[in-house]
Structure 1
Amino acid sequence: MNTKFDLKTIAQDIVYVKPVAVADLPDDMQAQAGPLEILFAVHNAQGEQLALVANRRLAFHLARENDMRPVTVH
C-alpha cells in the first residue's frame, strides 16, 4: 500500500461548526443576536471564522451550499 496523497489538498473542503455563547461575543454582536443564547460559528481548517449563524442546521446548510463538508466541534 504505497498510495501517495497530497496532504495540502486533503481536508481543504472541511469546515468546523461549533456553538458559541452569545454572552462571550462583543456587545454589538450580542445586540444583533436578539433573544438567542447560542450561535454557531463556521471555521475553516486554519481556524478562521467564516460565518456566525443562528442555528446548527443553518450552519450545515451554508457549508454544503458552498461545496464544503461540515463537521461538528464540541
Structure 2
Amino acid sequence: MGLKDVTAPCSKRDLAHLGAGEVGYIRKISGDDVSRCFPEAPDLDPGIDLWALFGADGTPILLTDNRSSTFFKAAEDDLRTVSLH
C-alpha cells in the first residue's frame, strides 16, 4: 500500500486559529509598536522596550516591562509558550 499525500493548503485564517487557547508567544516590543498592538495603551516613549504576550492568533494578552510576568500570565491562562525567530 502506497503513502497518500495528506498535505493540504492551509489558509492564513486556518493557520491563525491553530493552537488558539492553548499556545501563546512572547516577544519584545518597542514603544513604537505598542499603539498598533495594544491600542488602549497610553502613549509611551518610542525608545522603550517592553514584553508582550500574544495568543496563537495574534490577540494581545499582556504588555509589561518584565519578561517574567509574561511567562506567569501564560501559565495562569494555561498557555504553552513558543519561541518565534
TM-score range for the pair, normalised by the shorter chain length: 0.5 to 0.7
Structure number with higher relative contact order (C-alpha < 8 Å, ≥ 6 residues apart): 1
User: Does residue 11 in structure 1 map to residue 19 in structure 2?
Assistant: yes
Q: TM-score, normalised by structure 1?
A: 0.64
Amino acid at match of 1:29: D
Matched, 1:57 2:68: yes
Matches within 5 A, 1:20-59: 20-26=29-35, 28-30=42-44, 37-59=48-70
| 1:24 positional shift | 3.4
Separation of aligned partners in 2, 1:45 and 1:65: 16
* Offset, 1:72: 3.0
Deviates further, 53-62 or 64-73: 64-73
Mark the structure with the bigger radius of gyration.
Answer: 2
Q: Which runs of 4+ in 1 moved over 6 A?
A: none
More strand by share: 1
Matched residue count? 62
Match of 1:71 in 2: 82
> Where in structure 2 are there 5+ consecutive unaligned residues?
1-17, 36-40
- Percent of aligned pairs with the same amino acid: 26
Q: Check 1:63–1:29 CA distance in 2 against 1; reply closer, same or farther (3 A cut).
A: farther
The superposition leaves residues 30-59 of structure 1 with CA deviations (integer Å, 9 ceiling, x where unpaired) of: 16xxxx821111111111111111221110
